[in-house]
Amino acid sequence: MSEIKKFMYVNRKAPYGTIYALESLEVVLIGAAFDQDVSLAFLDDGVFQLTKDQDTSGIGMKNFSPTYAALGDYDVTKIYVEKESLEERGLTLDDLQHLTYEDEDDDWAEKDSIRLVTREELARIMDEQDVLLSF
Amino acid sequence: MLHTVNKSPFERTALQSCLGHALDGASVLLFEDGVYGALKGTGVSGEVAEAMGRVKFYVLGPDLRARGLREDRLIDGIQVVGYDGFVDLVTSHDNVQAWL
């Protein structure tokens, strides 16, 4: 078996206006089957993907936002959200879904998946990756 | 004239170009990813608020709700319309410029 690589999905687009956000989520779920070290980054307009209370009944499109809450069950537990991107858009963490996972190494304690990071911190985390997938 | 903007102001310059070309008395409708331009407290809200003195702004409600944005997040004075209101705006103006 080949060694585990660090994969990061980089999300920079708002949901619904383009197909990028939904496509990224689908690739993440497919990729979760390969037992790699996976993380997601949300920056620029990508932070809008995680807003809570999305209701698409008026626009005739599927509301895929509840799926983010299932990522923890797929062992996708590292979700980096860029602080500056939130601030530039008038958002705070309270505007985003509360995403959690159960830590199997800590008696299945519920923990936060979202990690608020600065632009510089995110740049360094991105630099550590083996593969970056851009959406 | 009615101007429509359907791109995020944080990613494209469509809203800026629109505001640069909208004459006094014009209407601007924000829809799809353009609705982010209607939010208060953002990097572009000052520019929009400033233009409101001479241009009337509208935003499409269904696109706001799809994105989890409530009306209390909007810059004061921006009017929320539905698809019927969108049609009314198009028919009540002589022409439409879409800033894609």
Could you read off the pLDDT of A100-120 as tens digits, one per residue? 999 999 999 999 999 999 999
Residue B80 has pLDDT above 90, yes or no: yes
Q: Do A58 and B7 touch (CB under 8 A)?
A: no
For A9-19, the pLDDT digits (tens) are 999 999 999 99
A55 contacts in chain B (CB < 8 Å): 65-66, 68
- Domain span at residue A75? 6-134
Neighbouring-strand partners of residue A61: none
CATH number of the domain at A123, please: 3.40.1260.10
pLDDT band at residue A3 under the 50/70/90 scheme: confident
Q: What is the DSSP letter of B70?
A: -
Q: List strands edge to edge, sheet with A6-11.
A: A114-117, A79-82, A37-42, A6-11, A131-134
pLDDT band at residue A1 under the 50/70/90 scheme: low
Q: Min CA distance, A34 vs chain B (Å)?
A: 31
What's the Cα-to-Cα distance from A123 to each of A42, A79, A119, A127, B4, rounded to whole Å?
12, 14, 6, 6, 35
Domains of chain B: 2-99 (3.40.1260.10)
Q: Do A16 and B63 touch (CB under 8 A)?
A: yes
Residue A68 has pLDDT above 70, yes or no: yes
Domain presence at residue A128: yes
For A18-67, the pLDDT digits (tens) are 999 999 999 999 998 899 999 999 999 999 999 999 999 999 999 999 99
Rounded to an integer, the average pLDDT of A62-79 is 97
Domain presence at residue A44: yes
Q: Do B66 and A61 touch (CB under 8 A)?
A: yes
A92 contacts in chain B (CB < 8 Å): none
Q: How far apart are CA B21 and CA B54, in angstroms?
A: 12
pTM over 0.90: yes
Q: Which residue of B has its CA nearest to A85?
A: B10
Residue A127 has pLDDT above 70, yes or no: yes
Residue contacts between A and B (CB atoms, under 8 Å) = 71
Q: Do B41 and A90 touch (CB under 8 A)?
A: yes
Rounded to an integer, the average pLDDT of B19-41 is 97
Q: With an 8 Å Cβ cutoff, is B54 touching chain A? A: no
Domain presence at residue A32: yes
Cα B5–chain centre separation = 6
Share of chain B above pLDDT 90, in %: 100
Domain presence at residue A1: no
Domain presence at residue A91: yes
Q: Do B33 and A16 touch (CB under 8 A)?
A: yes
Tally of structural domains, chain A? 1
